[in-house]
Amino acid sequence: MSKLYRVLTLANWEEAKTKGIVARCGNDHKADGVNLNLPEAVNYTASKYFTPNEKPVLLEVDTTEFSDHIEWRYAIENEPWLRPLARIKGIPVDCVVSVTSIDPKLLND
């Protein structure tokens, strides 16, 4: 099983559970794919894009179903790790292995 991670708001996760798919966000539309994270990128992503009042959650995603559609983008100065981008419409909820609340202390106010 290949695992990557996705950070999103609790509200987006609740919506995804009813629709069966984790929809793309604004940055995903710009990139024309679903941005995913390696473990070392999770804290950076959470603190850069989310605030405590959004109650972000971390999804652990089994990418086996769409691994052929993942583009491995190079590291950049502020993000010194590979940056996976899944060229899919959204993450099927069935691919989510676990959901964990993110510690608000890690986030911007």
Select from 81, 84, 80, 45 the least CA-distant residue to 63. 84
Query: What are the pLDDT digits (tens) for 41-99?
Result: 999 999 999 999 999 999 999 999 999 999 999 999 999 999 999 999 999 999 999 99
H helix or E strand, kind and range, residue 45: helix 42-49
The two tokens of residue 14 are: 């609740």
Handedness of CA 99, 40, 34, 72 (dihedral sign): negative
Q: What's the predicted TM-score (pTM) here?
A: 0.93
- Residue 17: the pLDDT is 97
- Residue 109: the pLDDT is 60
